[in-house]
Every structure is written in structure tokens, then in C-alpha cells.
Amino acid sequence: MNLSTDLLAAPAGLQTFIPPQRCLLGPGPSEIDPRVLTAAGRPTIGYLDPAFVTMMEELKSLLRYAFQTANPVTFAASGPGSVGMEMCFVNLVEPGDKVIVCRNGVFGGRMIENVTRAGGIAVVVEDQWGQPVSPEKLQAALAANPDAAVVAFVHAETSTGVASDAATLCALAAQAGCLSIVDCVTSLAGIPVAVDAWGADAVYSGSQKCLSCVPGLAPITFSARAIERVKARKLPVRSWFMDLNLILGYWGETTRTYHHTAPNNSLFALHESLRLLAEEGLAASWARHRRLHEMLAEGLAPLGIEFLVEPAYRLPQLNALKVPEGADEAAVRRRLLVDFSIEIGAGLGPLAGKIWRIGLMGYSAREESVRRVLAALRELLAR
Amino acid sequence: MNLSTDLLAAPAGLQTFIPPQRCLLGPGPSEIDPRVLTAAGRPTIGYLDPAFVTMMEELKSLLRYAFQTANPVTFAASGPGSVGMEMCFVNLVEPGDKVIVCRNGVFGGRMIENVTRAGGIAVVVEDQWGQPVSPEKLQAALAANPDAAVVAFVHAETSTGVASDAATLCALAAQAGCLSIVDCVTSLAGIPVAVDAWGADAVYSGSQKCLSCVPGLAPITFSARAIERVKARKLPVRSWFMDLNLILGYWGETTRTYHHTAPNNSLFALHESLRLLAEEGLAASWARHRRLHEMLAEGLAPLGIEFLVEPAYRLPQLNALKVPEGADEAAVRRRLLVDFSIEIGAGLGPLAGKIWRIGLMGYSAREESVRRVLAALRELLAR
């Protein structure tokens, strides 16, 4: 190749991308505290730098607080929440293992995919979209499948806005001798997550929901029982990137062996967002999400907008709302974005076109955001 | 759980993490242009926002320029270079497939792990660490394994500072009817990478080397032949997260179906770093890396520091240097970091303790960096 004459041309005239200023009230990412954005933009350092290693240890202790666990194996996986999910399944499921998956929305369905791709056999406990996972159905499935190795469910279903009773479901799994895998992507910092009190074995979350960090990291924690299971595997983990045995060489307590290049700047940001959470306090963060949800609900009632989910199971941070009679679901969402620069979410799967999803997560859970979306909806629905 | 009394306590007194200002001359991450850092710290937007979608299309065309390819399937995978590697293997290798892996350093070894975990059978072509991959050995391996499906090798071995002849190796693979997987993590933007001219089928890189972006993204491109192979698979891809069939629903040409939350802020940064590369021009970027390497080499000669690699195969952006007689390898590296705030890399595997690795990548490839590390080495080695 003649370097001077034969190169394919560069695209011409591209400008720096300046994202529009959005009010982010969808299912994630949420808005990011300016202090967290500043952290993401600090000059980077090496992933073996002693200063970075000190930061990693702080990050682990902050994550233990957020998850309410003493698990030594608690860190941030280098990928989105989907990597957190896959890391749990690919490490804890061996080919032929039976896994009971409770499905009441999109993410339970994704868990089934993860089980089969890890070589496991999924036994599915079905609940309606908009309903929580039924402990009775799980109990029946455990009784019918005494050889099950793992139980998996979603604590806070982002697709429907439903909270399930994680404490009860984890206890049922443990009583049956199963490990539990719990998706806390949308719940962490928004409603109580108590990994140790639940006795949960593998729990993952995402950075871009109630933690209000840059998207692309998956906080994750494993119990001692889970780590034993990984170490006792008969076959190697099917993923090199997600193999806990290797990752712990870098994130573990005593060694810092290179596995992959850590996403340093995102980790700077996560450290800061968790530090802000610790400063506010978990109980205060949960109360704030609850309070803002109530403020939203009060404002929606006069507009005739009803919730999909019964009050007892409603997630304050993810409000699934029935589109009122006569309103054009997609048009209202588009006008919110174009005219008001407010992002809200659409329904997925069987709920597409039928619901809106208004997230009030982390830094987006502020009074001004609620006032802003209510005012915009009032105007748009009156047209 | 009584929320007010039973919470595990937050770690006390943690401050915002302010990374030290480092001169990053290791094997990556490299320093980041302030314009790219600013991009990483911009307020985030949704991954389905029309403004974001426009940015994605620009990003794809900028990546095609960097890779010198017209491949429609060219995007940034949501993870470090290791995800790029695994995405290639897990999609292109089916259980039982024979894959010829050329190993002349750490990353060839990692490829073998990827083959076996994807269910494939690795046939290894061995070359010494510090030597390029031998086309003759590959040719012999192809002749001995007419049933091989894939050939994989590393263009620029980060562990040794060696460039291999990618054009020749890809041509041999194609002649034998094999797909080629090429690791360009350290080469992209530092030395010529010409995906289409090589006829390479699956090529991945990393954001944190010569692109000088925040770590955590893997630019990747697939030929039409590679995509055909993925679509014709008999068994599903073993990873849900890395399944190209699903990812293309989001990154493809016509649809933007949610697969996972994109790491938006890192993508803002990558857009800017690629834009700066297009502004400088690939040929100018290659020439700059070459020029800075020569400046370093001239300065090292009087210090009695020799290169591990013959000039013909030397990577300008990753200089593997033999530790001179009498010098304490680890102590010099530590003093560089502590006294001069300069990071350089150690040797890996059989080269541990024997070499230093000085990276001159992307934004780190500046004259002041070369002067700074030379001055520091002069002082430390004279002690």
C-alpha cells in the first residue's frame, strides 16, 4: 500500500459531538451529578498505579456499603449490567445444571438466554408482566425440581416497574440448597437492597440507574458459597473475559495481576458516585426516591394517568404508566423529547405502545425534574 | 430489616479521588488529549436519542477510516480490547472448529484460551517472544490442517513490541479458505492497519492505546464473509452479551433495537479521539509515532540500552528494551513513577525482569514525553 496516495479518505467536516442537555427520565441512563462527570474527565492513570490500587480498595468498600454486604468479592465488572448478568450465569452454571428462572418481564427472559448459552437447563417460573414473582410458584418449582442448582430472578423489573420480594425468594432458594442470582440493576440505591440479610449469592447492578454514574460498569458481589461453586467447577468457565478465577487475580485482596485494562475513567466516576451515595446515606436515598415518586403520582392523578403496577409492588424509581385513552403514546414521547428535551421510556414487548416508563433515578430524582415532566405532560395532553 | 438501625455503616471519610498527573509511557493506557477528556465528562443522553444515533453513525464512519475498511459492520464493542478479542472468537468459532493460532507473546496465548472456551480446537504455531509470526510456519500448519476454519494472530504484540506481517498472514489464511482474526489493539493508528487491503475478516483494537481515548472500548470490524459465517452458525453464540446477531440490532444500519445500555460517555470520548485522528490524518499519525520512536532510540543508545526486537519488526509505539547489566529493573521503574511521575511497563512472562516497555502511543507520543523519560533514565542509571 502506498501510504500517501492509497488511503481511504477520512469523513470530512465532522465536529466535536456536543450532546443536547436532556432531562433524563427514562429507564436509564439517569442524569449524572456534575461532580461525577468531572471525575470521569480527569486525566487517566495506569491500572497498576499504586494510587489506582488504593482507589480500587475504596471502591470495593463503597460497593459493599451500597449492596449491604461483607462479601470480600465485591467489585465493578468492566461492562454494562448485561455483563454483570452474564458473569453470574457463566461462572455459576455448568453444562447440564438446572436453573430455575423466574420471569415477569424482559430481564427474566434474558436470564433464560444466559442459562442456555452457558449450557444449563432453564426451568421457567412465569408471572405476568406487571406482577411480582410469585414465591408460591417458586416453591412449587423447587419441589418439582429437587436437582435444581440455581434460582435466578429480577429484584426490580425495569421493563414493568415491579419490585419482587427478594428476601423471601432468596430464602426459598437457600432452603432448597440452591444458589441465588439476583438482578438489582434498577433497585440498587433506589429501594432497599440487602445482600447479606437476604442471603443472596450473586448480585449485580448497573452504574447508570440509581447510582447515576456514567453507563458501562456493573457493580457485582458474590457470596463465599458462590465462590466455592466457581472454584469447584468441573469445566472451565465458557468466557475468558468473565472468568471470575482470572478476574480475582486483579480485583482480589492480595494480588493485582493484569487481566484486562480496567476502564479507569469510568471507575473514577463510580468511586465518586458511590462516595456521594455514602454521604447522603442509603436510607436517605431510598426515602428520596420514595418521596419523588409520591410527588409524581400526585401530579399524574389529575391527568387521569394510572399506574400499571399495584402500589404494594411499585418501584418508586421506575414508574410504569398506562397511556390514557386517546393519547398517542409515541407522539407524546417524541414531543417531550423535541419540545421539552425530556426523555421518558416506552413500553417493551407486550407493553409496547401501552405504557410510558418514567424513571426517577439517582441524580434525576429531583423535585425540579418531577415538576418539569408534569408541566410538559399537562400541556401535551391538553392539546 | 429495620432501615434506620440495622444498616451496615458506610466507609467513613473517603475523599474524591484525584488521580496523580502521570506521564503515561507504559503499554497503555496512554495519556488522553484534554479535548477527549472533556468529551468523556459531558452530560449524558439516552442511547436511543436521535442525537446519539447520529453520533453513532459518525463514529462508525470514523472507525472505518481508522481501520481502512468499507465494512458496514464496524463499531465499538462495549468493553476493553479483551471483549473485542472474545467477540471475534465466540462468534466465528463453533464447537469442534479447528483454529490455527500464531503465538509469539502474551496475547497469542490469550487467543488459545478463547478458542478452547468457545469449544474450538486450537492448533498452535509457535514463535519466540520477540520474533514476528513466521509466515512459513503458518503455511506449514495450514498444509497440515486442511480442515482449519480460522487463522488468528496478533499484529502488534504488546508484550514484546513486535510487528508481524499482517498482509501476508491474512493472504495465507484466505488462500487456504480460512477466516482471519487479527489483534490490532496496539497497532491501530500507530502503524499502518489496512483491513481491506489485507483481506482480514475480523479485526479488533482497544481505545486506550494509539487512539488515546478513555479505556474500556474495543473498536471492531467484520468482513461480509465473517458475517455470513456468524449467520450460518449451527449453534447459538455462547455469549449473549457478545452475540453479533443481537448487537447488530442496535449498531446495524437500519435498526436501533435495545440490546444493552451503551457506554455513552466513553463513546463521546471515542468520537472525539477518532475525529482528532482524522484531523491529523493516518499517515501523519504513523509518521509521528515513527519519528518519536527514532528520537527515543537515539537517546537510549548512549545509555547502553538495547532493543529486544530487530529493527525490521520493531513497533515504534511499544519499545521493548533490554534492562542494562547492573540496573535493578523494578527499582528503576519504581523511581520513575515515584520521583518523576512517569509510568513505563515491565516485562511479562519469560521477559519479566528482563525488559522495560516504553510506550509512545497516541497523545503520549510527544517530544516532551521522550525528553522527559530520557532525562529521568539518564539520572537514574547514573546513580
DSSP A11-56: PSSPPPP-----EEESSSPPP--HHHHHHHTSPP--TT-HHHHHHH
Distance CA B153, CA B133 (A): 8
Distance CA A338, CA B184 (A): 40
Spatial neighbors of B120 by CB under 8 A, at least 6 apart, are B89, B93, B94, B95, B96, B97, B98, B99, B149, B150
Burial of B190 (0-12, 13-18, 19+ CB in 10 A): buried
- Cross-chain CB nearest to A216 (options B68, B70, B263): B263
* B286-296: b (≥16 Cβ within 10 Å) or e: bebbbebbebb
* pLDDT 10s digits, A311-362: 999 999 999 999 999 999 999 999 999 999 999 999 999 999 999 999 999 9
Residue B120, pLDDT above cutoff 90 = yes
**8 Å CB contact between B307 and B320:** yes
Residue A110 forms contact with B (CB below 8 Å): yes
Distance CA B115, CA B331 (A): 38
Band (pLDDT 50/70/90 cuts) for residue A217 is very high
- Cross-chain CB nearest to B283 (options A7, A22, A90): A7
Q: What is the amino acid identity at position B195?
A: V
Q: Which residues of A touch B39 (CB under 8 A)?
A: 16-17
Distance CA B101, CA B204 (A): 16
Phi, psi of B322 (to 5 degrees): -70, 130
Q: Which of A193, A200, A246 is nearest to A87 (CA)?
A: A246
Helix (H) or strand (E) holding A358: strand A355-359
Would you call B21 and A42 a contact, using CB atoms and an 8 Å cutoff?
A: no
Helix axes A106-117, A81-92, angle to 10 degrees: 40
CA distance to A339, A378, B32, per residue, from A305 (Å): 21, 11, 48
Name the residue with higher pLDDT: B210 or A1. Answer: B210
Distance CA B216, CA B83 (A): 9
Spatial neighbors of A324 by CB under 8 A, at least 6 apart, are A303, A304, A305, A306, A381
> What's the CATH superfamily of A23-29+281-382?
Aspartate Aminotransferase, domain 1 (3.90.1150.10)
Q: What is the amino acid identity at position A369?
A: S
Would you call A283 and B3 a contact, using CB atoms and an 8 Å cutoff?
A: yes
Chain A, residues 264-323, CB within 8 A of chain B, namely: 264-266, 268-269, 271-272, 275, 278, 281-283, 286
What torsion do the CA atoms of A9, A12, A17, A18 make, to the nearest 10 degrees? 170
The full set of domain ranges for chain B reads 23-29+281-382, 34-278
- Cross-chain CB nearest to A260 (options B82, B236, B269): B82
Q: What is the amino acid identity at position A356?
A: W
Assigned C-alpha cell, A87: 458473569
pLDDT for the residue numbered B6: 86
Spatial neighbors of A333 by CB under 8 A, at least 6 apart, are A344, A346, A356
Would you call A17 and B79 a contact, using CB atoms and an 8 Å cutoff?
A: no
Residue of A165, A259, A261, A286 to mutate, interface with B, max B Cβ within 10 Å: A261
Residue A192 forms contact with B (CB below 8 Å): yes
Burial of A367 (0-12, 13-18, 19+ CB in 10 A): exposed
Assigned C-alpha cell, B317: 509505539
Band (pLDDT 50/70/90 cuts) for residue B2 is low
CA distance to B28, B335, B367, B372, B382, per residue, from B375 (Å): 21, 13, 12, 5, 11
Torsion-angle region of A2 (φ positive above 0: left; ψ -120 to 50: alpha; else: beta): beta
CA distance to B72, B124, B178, B223, B232, per residue, from B226 (Å): 12, 22, 10, 5, 10
CA distance B85 to chain A (A): 9
CA distance to A23, A122, A130, A329, B258, per residue, from A322 (Å): 21, 32, 11, 10, 21
Would you call B264 and A16 a contact, using CB atoms and an 8 Å cutoff?
A: no
Residue A342 β-bridge partners:
A23
Spatial neighbors of B373 by CB under 8 A, at least 6 apart, are B23, B25, B296, B336, B342, B344, B358
**8 Å CB contact between A320 and A307:** yes
pLDDT for the residue numbered B123: 98
Percentage of chain B modeled with pLDDT above 70: 98
* pLDDT 10s digits, A293-314: 999 999 999 999 999 999 999 9
pLDDT for the residue numbered A4: 54
Residue B135, pLDDT above cutoff 60 = yes
Would you call A64 and B116 a contact, using CB atoms and an 8 Å cutoff?
A: no
- CATH classification code of A34-278: 3.40.640.10
Residue A62 forms contact with B (CB below 8 Å): yes
Distance CA A79, CA B261 (A): 10
Residue A163, pLDDT above cutoff 70 = yes
Would you call B240 and A114 a contact, using CB atoms and an 8 Å cutoff?
A: yes
Name the average pLDDT for chain B: 96
Residue A10, pLDDT above cutoff 60 = yes
Residue A190 forms contact with B (CB below 8 Å): no
Helix axes A329-340, A367-382, angle to 10 degrees: 120
DSSP A87-154: HHHHHH--TT-EEEEEESSHHHHHHHHHHHHTT-EEEEEE--TTSPPPHHHHHHHHHH-TT--EEEEE
Residue of B37, B44, B47, B67 to mutate, interface with A, max A Cβ within 10 Å: B44
Residue of B8, B170, B208, B242 to mutate, interface with A, max A Cβ within 10 Å: B8
Torsion-angle region of B8 (φ positive above 0: left; ψ -120 to 50: alpha; else: beta): beta
**8 Å CB contact between B350 and B358:** no
pLDDT for the residue numbered B190: 98
Q: Which residues of A touch B1 (CB under 8 A)?
A: 192, 194, 197
Q: Which residues of B touch A282 (CB under 8 A)?
A: 7, 10
Distance CA A294, CA B93 (A): 52
Distance CA B93, CA B230 (A): 9
DSSP class of B307: B
Q: Which residues of A touch B192 (CB under 8 A)?
A: 1, 3
Band (pLDDT 50/70/90 cuts) for residue B194 is very high
pLDDT for the residue numbered B5: 63
Percentage of chain B modeled with pLDDT above 90: 96
Would you call B81 and A24 a contact, using CB atoms and an 8 Å cutoff?
A: no
Chain B, residues 71-100, CB within 8 A of chain A, namely: 78-83, 86, 90
Would you call A343 and B214 a contact, using CB atoms and an 8 Å cutoff?
A: no
**8 Å CB contact between A156 and A131:** no
Residue A68 forms contact with B (CB below 8 Å): yes
Phi, psi of B253 (to 5 degrees): -85, -30
A-B CB pairs within 8 A amount to 301
CA distance A132 to chain B (A): 20
Residue A44 forms contact with B (CB below 8 Å): yes
Cis before residue B135, ω within 30 degrees of 0?
Answer: no
Residue B4, pLDDT above cutoff 80 = no
Residue A114 forms contact with B (CB below 8 Å): yes
Band (pLDDT 50/70/90 cuts) for residue A208 is very high
Q: Which residues of A touch B343 (CB under 8 A)?
A: 45-46, 49
- Cross-chain CB nearest to B239 (options A45, A70, A86): A86
The question of ipTM being above 0.90 is answered as: yes
Nearest residue in B to A275, CA atom: B14
Name the average pLDDT for chain A: 96
Q: Which of A79, A346, A207, A317 is nearest to B44 (CA)?
A: A207
Q: For the residues A222-228, what does the mean pLDDT come to?
A: 98
